[in-house]
Copies of this chain bind each other. A is one copy, B any other.
Amino acid sequence: MNTTEEVATKLAEYCRKSEWRKALDDLYANDIVSVEAHAMENMPAEMRGIDQVRGKTDWWEKNMEVHSANVTGPFVARDTFVVGFDIDVTEKASGKRMQLSEVGIYKVKDGKVAHEEFLPLAQKKQ
């Protein structure tokens, strides 16, 4: 069974190669809970189960053109790890280009990712 650090290292490697689907197949629990900061379009902020999370990945790949992705980490302790993402992306429908910066907090149970939560960089107030 993979340790937290092994799961974390593999996940960061998949993310660096933009192999999101392989990450899901290899590292995620069937009862994964995935929490975004906000609901998007028709997707609730919280999704449950590997099928819903695969759907989110499909939506992302279909709707977003990724120009570059910088992945930091993993940072690991006990059952928890953190990975950072800086993504330069264009929303295909609108043509809007965005620089997304966020971190994911992941919880590992029985050698699989059982919970993930994404936190966006706070906007600077002037």
Chain A residues close to B by CB (< 8 Å)? 5, 8-9, 35, 37, 72-78, 80-82, 84, 101-103, 105, 117-122, 125
Contact = CB atoms under 8 A, between A and B. Distances in A.
A20 to B, nearest CB: 20
What DSSP secondary structure best describes chain A's contact surface?
strand
Most B CB contacts (10 A, CB to CB) among A8, A73, A84, A103 go to: A103
A109 to B, nearest CB: 17
Contact of A76 (B5, B77, B80, B120): B120
Most B CB contacts (10 A, CB to CB) among A9, A74, A76, A101 go to: A76
A27 B5 CA distance: 31
Contact of A105 (B9, B37, B101, B105): B105
